[in-house]
Structure 1
Amino acid sequence: MILCVGLATVDLVYRVDRVPGVDEKAQALSAEVAAGGPAANAAVTAAALGAPVTLVTAIGAHPLGGLIRSDLEKRSVRLIDAAEGSDGLPPISTVVVEDATGRRTIVSRNAGDLAYRVPETGLPDADLTLVDGHHPVLAVAAARAARRLVVDAGTWRPVFADILPHADVVACSAAFHHPDGFTAPDVIVTHGPDPVTWTRDGRVERIPVPPVDAADTAGAGDAFHGALAFALHSGAPMRDAITSAIRVAGVRVRHPGPRSWLDQL
Structure 2
Amino acid sequence: MSRVVVVGDLAVDVLVTPSAPAAPGADVPARIRTVAGGAGANTAAWLAHLGSAVTLVARVGDDAAGRSAAADLPGVDLALTVDPDEPTATVVVLLDGDRTMLSDRGAAARLCPADLPPLDGRGHLHLSGYVLLDPSSRPAGLAALAAARDAGWSTSVDPQAAPALTPEFPGWVAGVDLLLPNADELAALGDGVHGAVGAVAATAGAEGATWTDARGTWSVPAPVVEVRDPTGAGDAFDAGLLRAWLAGAGPRDALRAGCEAGAAAVQHPGARPPRPFAR
Q: Is the 8 A contact 1:62 1:87 kept in 2?
A: no
In structure 2, the residue corresponding to 1:172 is in which secondary structure? coil
Q: Which moved more, 1:51-60 or 1:10-19?
A: 10-19
Aligned position for 1:77: 76
234, 239, 252: which one aligns with 1:226: 239
Aligned position for 2:213: 200
Q: Is the 8 A contact 1:60 1:81 kept in 2?
A: no
Aligned position for 1:239: 252
- Check 1:90–1:132 CA distance in 2 against 1; reply closer, same or farther (3 A cut): same
The answer to whether residue 206 in structure 2 is matched with residue 189 in structure 1 is no
- Whole-Å Cα distance in 1 between the matches of residues 167 and 12 of structure 2? 25
Give CA-to-partner distance per residue, 1:152-171, whole Å, 9 cap, x none.
12232577345422311111
Q: CA deviation at 1:38?
A: 1.5
- Whole-Å Cα distance in 1 between the matches of residues 201 and 139 of structure 2? 25
- Check 1:180–1:236 CA distance in 2 against 1; reply closer, same or farther (3 A cut): closer
Map 1:87-98 onto structure 2 (within 5 A): 87-98=85-96
Q: CA deviation at 1:22?
A: 2.3
The answer to whether residue 174 in structure 2 is matched with residue 168 in structure 1 is no
Aligned position for 1:44: 45
- Check 1:125–1:162 CA distance in 2 against 1; reply closer, same or farther (3 A cut): farther
- Whole-Å Cα distance in 1 between the matches of residues 270 and 44 of structure 2? 17
Paired amino acid for 1:104: R
Give CA-to-partner distance per residue, 1:189-229, whole Å, 9 cap, x none.
11111131211216223321232221111111111112122
- Check 1:40–1:264 CA distance in 2 against 1; reply closer, same or farther (3 A cut): closer
Identical amino acids, percent of aligned pairs: 28
Aligned position for 1:130: 126
Q: CA deviation at 1:106?
A: 1.6
Q: CA deviation at 1:56?
A: 0.7
Q: Which moved more, 1:151-160 or 1:229-238?
A: 151-160
Map 1:2-17 onto structure 2 (within 5 A): 2-17=4-19
- Whole-Å Cα distance in 1 between the matches of residues 11 and 167 of structure 2? 21
Paired amino acid for 2:78: L
- Whole-Å Cα distance in 1 between the matches of residues 216 and 272 of structure 2? 36
Q: Which runs of 5+ in 1 are unaligned?
A: none
- Whole-Å Cα distance in 1 between the matches of residues 166 and 34 of structure 2? 29
Q: CA deviation at 1:19?
A: 4.3
Give CA-to-partner distance per residue, 1:234-264, whole Å, 9 cap, x none.
2222221110110110111122234463559
Q: CA deviation at 1:5?
A: 0.6
Q: Is the 8 A contact 1:48 1:262 kept in 2?
A: no
* Residues paired across the two proteins, number: 258
- Whole-Å Cα distance in 2 between the matches of residues 125 and 162 of structure 1? 27
- Whole-Å Cα distance in 2 between the matches of residues 141 and 125 of structure 1? 18
- Whole-Å Cα distance in 2 between the matches of residues 230 and 260 of structure 1? 15
- Check 1:126–1:108 CA distance in 2 against 1; reply closer, same or farther (3 A cut): farther
* Runs of 4+ more than 4 Å apart: 123-126, 262-265
- Whole-Å Cα distance in 1 between the matches of residues 156 and 212 of structure 2? 14
- Whole-Å Cα distance in 2 between the matches of residues 30 and 164 of structure 1? 37
RMSD: 2.6
- Check 1:6–1:124 CA distance in 2 against 1; reply closer, same or farther (3 A cut): farther
Aligned position for 1:143: 145
Paired amino acid for 1:54: T
- Check 1:25–1:264 CA distance in 2 against 1; reply closer, same or farther (3 A cut): farther
- Whole-Å Cα distance in 1 between the matches of residues 172 and 118 of structure 2? 18
Q: Which runs of 5+ in 2 are unaligned?
A: 132-136
Paired amino acid for 1:106: M
In structure 2, the residue corresponding to 1:41 is in which secondary structure? helix
- Whole-Å Cα distance in 2 between the matches of residues 158 and 110 of structure 1? 23
